[in-house]
Structure 1
């Protein structure tokens, strides 16, 4: 499905409670709130000068009948003065609103991102990244547009409608009643009709997009199309989509024709009716020619404002909805994480114990992933976790990092329950080298230093040497300043793994987690990475999730999991003695 466009953002009903929630946005304005209030003053001044303009134009027209040139000159100068003032007020109105909005939205985006990144894994297991990214981009952009322009424009249009109607009533009550009986209704009808046409145009656009999906799928899978000799089948599929586009386009064209006819007949007809009645009043002596000119200009102001305010109200509804969704995320309970330099985190020894641990993922409560898991790892030991896919090996690593809280039992580190450690100390003493290493899109230096942001150049180079990464890094023209690309795409799998190992070495963790770190590498890369891993595992407790059993033969203890339980444990030699054991069966399959 295509990503939701900003124009398609859902709307929220504007009520007293929704407005109150929307006003929370001002909390993020800091010491820039005065710019919004001063901008409102300039907004009122802009509206006032706009309302004075038609009156002076009418007086200028009357000067022609009176033959009063000096008065005409003075009024013309007054009009130029009003235009100058309006330009002056408009500049400061826009400038102040934009300054207020930029600072407010900058603070909001930073607060939202800072909050999102502190939310627990239970939250991310139930939300899509695209949805969260939309909150940061589409929703905040909608709020920006509203604060910068839509809100001010709504207030300006509202002021013009109220002020315009009051001034019209002073000029001629009869003509005002006639205008209000015709023009606003016609304008509102035109707005509703216009919205219907835009929705129909969107249907046509969606149909075109669906036809392009057929083209994209066909061209991407052209080998399959040719292999199955399905060219005519695909042409038929595309033909059906094109027919739908044609039919929608023709209907849309007819509706646009009706709309054009409506505008010519009704909208301009209503203006003719107002002018005709004004002429009647002039003939009867109830109105001057200049007053009629002013009245027509005021009527255009009021009519245009009626038309504009409906669309702006729609934008405000979207902004209220966007604000509610943003504050809904800000209301989620985050993990308590403090900003602590890696060098200041207290060191732990690294003795691990799982006692009768039971766990189910919050999003799948009905499935128990781990049940009554018991094992211990002394300082410096290598503990390997093996078993079929989906038996809970990676879950044990996630629980050790406290991405999730357990349902039953205890996890202890150095004899202390894991829940009693603050997250900085706990995670600051652990490192993970996953199967699919994700690097950030900066330099190699920045990615290695991610394990210890305050590391010196010497420390980074030493970590690279120990991870078997220094030689290949030095082979690049930019050396440690080489850009790795998005997710490390410019590096091979083995190179990414060694950068991840260097990152872990720099952090110098007490507990190391290796999640199938060599399973997707070729033999040469695996040899280099395995050598680096041996260096990394020295002098620290290592939890190794293994797919290739050859990599864990020398482990101090191997835990065999099946259906969330540890069904066998021991060294490689001990487990191979179990004739009908799962470990022996897995080994036989891999090495036969």
Structure 2
């Protein structure tokens, strides 16, 4: 069993590293661009960042000063048995370490503030970007995978900013200071200490060339796992209905195993760093002790003193420690960059098309909408072709046809979730491309087949239609939607907390709440997507009655799956393959005895 596991692991390593090679060509370019974007956020806190760097500079100087004073005490006082002045030097040593500790505290305190502010701004901007992206972006991606970018990837950046920025600055300064003092004290011992650098360099290069791409794969696999979990949790009813628990578990197991393997190799390879550094550190100590001892004996202390050897052993540790920390922080930095790249991929996505320069606000509308030879295609696929119809103020227009006929696409064009390619759509005689999207949608309300309720009270869910509405207006909307009675039957009435899926109330009751929300919005244009499907007869009658109140005096567009619900429509449009096959009222289409007649029969 163990041999099989190892074989599978190394087989994965071979497969995974072939994927890793895909990242090599653009790795440096992407890393530079990502670091530049992170810096753009960091420099918003330039004042505090300067203070952090100042404290790092002070702490690095005093960290180097401590061992130097210890060496001086050995050579100038202890070795020659001179006590006069030793107490003063020890007091100075205490002051050095107090200042060193204080500067460490301040630099960490300010850096935490900087990182939290940076991550706050980054998370805020990413969330705002989600709302700028077009609907098509979310249609093509798992929501859980996008959530992973907002949570895991940004947390990864946060952790790295807290740890790495200070450590990198401190390590570089400590390294430069250590080498300078070592050269001043003994060039020979400095050369001995630095002889380990080539081994260290090639070791780190071998490791980081593998861990960087592996961290990217790890973040990708983590997003894949989160996306799948979100999808399956949302679809639990379907999973249980078809008894597919074993299947989805096996699918999750594959994704989870992929994440485990990627994380295993990323952490295993990066875990070589402290082992290599410790080995080189011990080797450096041995070499300094041997060479230093030989120099002390052969030169009778003229070239090197015992105090100098003590200083060098401490500085050798301070020389390898920053190199070790730089290597470790570089791995953390690679992990953060992998997460940051995924965040900035979303940030760099083209948002929903901005309003045209001459787009206007419409304070009011009659709801008179005209399609004139409208065609639309998405990603080279033609979806609508030469669509023409007119919806006068207060009329009800129904769209019927088989799945894929283009019904939902027409609705998306009306609400400008997509822009048509040719032809023209006008509202009250104004091309809708000349109307600001926010202004256009402000006059619309949607009641869809798949109800969506936010986590919160019933009152808050209804108020979402018009945030400034009073409690009295909310209750009146609930009464008009036939929802008031069932709300009062609940223990907390309008203050009843609903989960996102509205658990605790029926599907029909959820639909009544969405109708109340639409009523509260007081729209001039109403879009309905078969709001009565999968509803019991009694609730359906309540919904139909509420919908009649809702549609009264409003221009309504209805996607119909049950044709008996649209008999009273002013115009019914029969669609097939993105084209209008028939249009007219119910009686006219029945008299034609064409496709609508056949579908109705």
TM-score, normalized by length of structure 1? 0.81
- In structure 2, the CA distance between the partners of 1:263 and 1:378, relative to structure 1 (3 Å rule), is closer
Aligned mates of 2:241, 2:190 — CA distance in 1: 68
Aligned to 1:297: 314
Aligned to 1:370: 384
1:498 to 496, 500, 512: 512
- 1:408 equivalenced with 2:422 (yes/no): yes
Tell me if the contact between 1:440 and 1:447 (Cα under 8 Å) persists in the aligned partners: yes
Aligned to 2:555: 541
- In structure 2, the CA distance between the partners of 1:198 and 1:376, relative to structure 1 (3 Å rule), is closer
Aligned to 2:9: none
**Secondary structure of the residue that 1:347 maps to in structure 2?**
coil
What is the RMSD of the two structures over their aligned residues, measured on CA atoms? 4.0
**Secondary structure of the residue that 2:453 maps to in structure 1?**
coil
Aligned to 1:23: 39
1:306 to 323, 333, 345: 323
- 1:554 equivalenced with 2:554 (yes/no): no
Aligned to 1:50: 63
Tell me if the contact between 1:12 and 1:321 (Cα under 8 Å) persists in the aligned partners: no
- In structure 2, the CA distance between the partners of 1:224 and 1:180, relative to structure 1 (3 Å rule), is same
Aligned mates of 2:362, 2:328 — CA distance in 1: 55
- In structure 2, the CA distance between the partners of 1:257 and 1:393, relative to structure 1 (3 Å rule), is closer
Aligned mates of 2:273, 2:525 — CA distance in 1: 71
**Secondary structure of the residue that 2:463 maps to in structure 1?**
helix
Counterparts of 1:407-426 in structure 2, within 5 Å, are 407-426=421-440
Aligned to 1:350: 367
Aligned mates of 1:523, 1:222 — CA distance in 2: 23
Aligned mates of 1:178, 1:168 — CA distance in 2: 11
Q: Deviations over 1:5-36 (max 9, x none)?
A: xxx9x894277766544432246x2xx43111
Return 327-336 or 436-445, whichever deviates more: 327-336
Aligned mates of 1:464, 1:18 — CA distance in 2: 50
**Secondary structure of the residue that 1:451 maps to in structure 2?**
coil
Tell me if the contact between 1:352 and 1:378 (Cα under 8 Å) persists in the aligned partners: yes
- In structure 2, the CA distance between the partners of 1:227 and 1:114, relative to structure 1 (3 Å rule), is closer
- In structure 2, the CA distance between the partners of 1:350 and 1:224, relative to structure 1 (3 Å rule), is closer
Residue 383 of structure 1 deviates from its aligned partner by: 1.2
Tell me if the contact between 1:514 and 1:543 (Cα under 8 Å) persists in the aligned partners: yes
- In structure 2, the CA distance between the partners of 1:263 and 1:399, relative to structure 1 (3 Å rule), is closer
Number of matched residues? 543
- 1:33 equivalenced with 2:66 (yes/no): no
- 1:529 equivalenced with 2:543 (yes/no): yes
Return 115-124 or 166-175, whichever deviates more: 115-124
- In structure 2, the CA distance between the partners of 1:67 and 1:440, relative to structure 1 (3 Å rule), is same
Q: Deviations over 1:135-194 (max 9, x none)?
A: 433443343334333122101001111111111111111111011113x34545665687
Aligned to 1:459: 473
Aligned mates of 1:352, 1:255 — CA distance in 2: 63
Higher RCO (C-alpha under 8 Å, 6+ residues apart): 1
Aligned mates of 1:510, 1:149 — CA distance in 2: 55
**Secondary structure of the residue that 1:278 maps to in structure 2?**
helix
Tell me if the contact between 2:292 and 2:309 (Cα under 8 Å) persists in the aligned partners: yes
Residue 387 of structure 1 deviates from its aligned partner by: 0.8
**Secondary structure of the residue that 1:371 maps to in structure 2?**
strand
Tell me if the contact between 2:67 and 2:311 (Cα under 8 Å) persists in the aligned partners: yes
Tell me if the contact between 1:151 and 1:316 (Cα under 8 Å) persists in the aligned partners: no
- In structure 2, the CA distance between the partners of 1:378 and 1:453, relative to structure 1 (3 Å rule), is same
Residue 573 of structure 1 deviates from its aligned partner by: 2.2
- 1:390 equivalenced with 2:404 (yes/no): yes
Tell me if the contact between 1:187 and 1:303 (Cα under 8 Å) persists in the aligned partners: no
Aligned mates of 2:270, 2:158 — CA distance in 1: 32
